[in-house]
Amino acid sequence: MAKSLNTRAHSAKICWQVIDQGRSLDGALADYVSQYRPNPKDKGFVQEVVYGVCRWYGELDSVASKYLKTPIRKKDRVIHFLLLVGFYQLRHLQTAKHAAVAETVGACKQLNKIWAKKLVNGCLRNYQRNPAEVADATSASHPKWLREEISKAWPNHALAIQHANNQRPPMCIRVNRGFNTRDDYLNQLKDVGIAANSDPYSQDGIILDKAVNVSLLPGFDLGWCSVQDTAAQLAADILDIRHGHHILDACAAPGGKTAHILERLDNTGLLHAVDISEARCQQLDETLRRLNLKAERFVGDASSEVSWPAPEDGYDRILVDSPCSGLGVIRRHPDIKHHRRPSDIAALNRSQAALLENLWGLLKPQGKLLYMTCSILPSENENQIEQFIAKKNNLIICDVKHPNALELKHGLQTLPGVHNMDGFYYCLLQKC
C-alpha cells in the first residue's frame, strides 16, 4: 500500500474499519491521527467525511447500488467505502466536484486497487450526469429495527429524532465555575473571536455558534472548561449536590459528570469514582488531571460487588449513569447505528437492574440516587424504574421538573430533535 495516502483513501479505510469490522469511530480516528499526524485541514476533512458516511450510510449505500452492476467483492470492500466517500462529497459537501471525483479516483491506486479506478470514476461521473435520489434518506440511514423501536417508543417524535440523529450536533461546553463565571467566560470567548451564547437549559453551559478545536478555547488546558452536551450537564443539577456530601459516581469513566460533580462540591465532601474498566479509569484520571480535580477512584463492578471502601453510614448521593444502548447520542456517535444490535438490549437491561439493586443498599436514609441513561428506549429507562420501585417500599420518586424535557410518569426524558440536546433519561429516587 502506498506510504502516503490522500484524505479520501484514509476516509475509506476508516469507514471500512468502523462499519464492516466493528471498530469504534473514536478509536479509529485516534489511531489515524497518532500514526499519520495529519495537518489540521486534512484531519478536519477526514473527520467530516467519516462521520458523514457513518451517518448517511444507508442512503449512500442505496445510491451506490444504483450505479454498480454487481456488488463489490468482500475482499475489496474498501473500494465500496471509497465510493461512498465520493458520493458523500457530491451529495452533502461543498467540495468542488472535479476535486471530489479526481481525489477519490486517485485513492484507488493508493489503496493498491488500481483496477477500481475505472469503476469508481464511472460511478461518480454517472452520478454527476444523472443524480439518483433516495425516497427517504433519513429513514434509510437507520437500521430497520432501530426505526421500529423509535416509532414504537415515540410515535409523535420519531421523524424528528431520526432527522436529528443525522445532523451535526452543536458544540456545547461546560464552564468550570472554580475558575470563571459563565458570563466571564463568554467575554473571554468573545475576546478571541469565538461566537457563543449561554445555554438556557443548564447552569454552567455555553453553546458555540460554530465548533472549534479545543485548543482555541481559552484556558482549556488549564481546566477552565470542558466539552459536554447540555443533556449530560443536567445530571449535576438534578442530583441536588450540597457542599460536604459524600457522593458515589458508580459508572464514572470517562469522567465528564464526575468532574462536574467535583466542581459543584468545591473541594468539600468526598467523591468515590468507580468504573469496571481500568483503561476507562485512566481516561477518567486524565480528565480530572486537566481540570485540576481529585477523586478517590476505584476499578470495580458496581452491579455485583462493593470492592471499594464505601462509607459505613452510606452515601448522601449516588449517580448511576448506567451502561446503555447509547441510542440517545447517535448524532455524536453515529457508529452506534452500525454496532448496536437488538439482542444487546436484554443484556443491558439485566445490568441496569443489577446496578440499581446493588447500589440502593449503599445509600443512606434521606439520600438520593439519580438513575440516568443516554438512551431513548423505555425498556432501559422508565420500565427499569417501574420494575425497581415495585420491589421497594423505602423510596419516593422526587418530583424533578425541567422546562426542556418530557415529564414521564417516572422521571424525565430528553429527545434529540425535540429538545435541542442529546437523548437522556433521568429519575431521582430518595430513600425513606
Contact 429/369 with Cβ under 8 angstroms?
Answer: yes
> Is position 251 annotated as part of the catalytic site?
no
Contact 252/258 with Cβ under 8 angstroms?
Answer: yes
Contact 10/46 with Cβ under 8 angstroms?
Answer: yes
Res 4: pLDDT: 75
Contact 334/55 with Cβ under 8 angstroms?
Answer: yes
Q: Does residue 2 surpass a pLDDT of 80?
A: no
Contact 163/417 with Cβ under 8 angstroms?
Answer: yes
- φ/ψ (deg, to 5) at 272: -100, 120
Strand (E) or helix (H) holding 354: helix 342-360
Q: Catalytic residue among 15, 225, 251, 374, which?
A: 374
The predicted model scores a pTM of 0.95
Domain boundaries defined on the chain: 7-137, 172-227, 230-431
| Alpha carbons 381 and 120: distance in angstroms, whole number | 45
Tell me, yes or no, if the two domains 7-137 and 230-431 fold the same way. no
For residue 2, the SS3 value is: coil
Residue written as grid cell 425513606? 432
Residue written as grid cell 452536551? 229
Q: What does the pLDDT look like over 354-386, one tens digit per residue?
A: 999 999 999 999 999 999 999 999 999 999 999
Q: What does the pLDDT look like over 4-50, one tens digit per residue?
A: 789 999 999 999 999 999 999 999 999 999 999 999 999 999 999 99
| Alpha carbons 382 and 388: distance in angstroms, whole number | 10
Q: Does residue 305 surpass a pLDDT of 90?
A: no
Cell output for 197:
451564547
Q: What percent of the chain has pLDDT over 70?
A: 99
| Alpha carbons 291 and 88: distance in angstroms, whole number | 38
Res 135: pLDDT: 85
Contact 287/225 with Cβ under 8 angstroms?
Answer: no
**Which numeric CATH code is attached to 230-431?**
3.40.50.150
Contact 202/246 with Cβ under 8 angstroms?
Answer: no
Strand (E) or helix (H) holding 281: helix 278-291
User: What residues contact 347, with CB distance under 8 A and at least 6 apart?
Assistant: none
Res 3: pLDDT: 55
Res 175: pLDDT: 98
Res 235: pLDDT: 97
Mean pLDDT of 168-193: 97
Confirm or reject CATH 2.115.10.20 for domain 7-137, answering yes or no.
no
Q: What does the pLDDT look like over 212-244, one tens digit per residue?
A: 999 999 999 999 999 999 999 999 999 999 999
User: DSSP label at 406?
Assistant: E
Mean pLDDT of 413-430: 98
| Alpha carbons 53 and 45: distance in angstroms, whole number | 12
| Alpha carbons 136 and 56: distance in angstroms, whole number | 11
Q: Does residue 148 surpass a pLDDT of 80?
A: yes
For residue 58, the SS3 value is: helix
For the chain, give the longest Cα–Cα distance.
Answer: 73
Q: Which residues sit opposite 315 in a β-bridge?
A: 363
| Selection from 22, 24, 11 nearest residue 53 by Cα | 11
CA 331 to chain centre: 7
Q: Does residue 1 surpass a pLDDT of 50?
A: no
Using only the alpha carbons of the chain, give its radius of gyration: 23
SS3 content of the chain, % helix, strand, coil (to 5): 50, 15, 40
Q: From residue 415, give the alpha-carbon distance in Å to each of 50, 111, 211, 256.
A: 24, 41, 21, 20
Cell output for 388:
425497581
Q: Does residue 424 surpass a pLDDT of 80?
A: yes
Confirm or reject CATH 3.30.70.1170 for domain 172-227, answering yes or no.
yes
121 CB burial (10 A radius; 0-12, 13-18, 19+)? middle
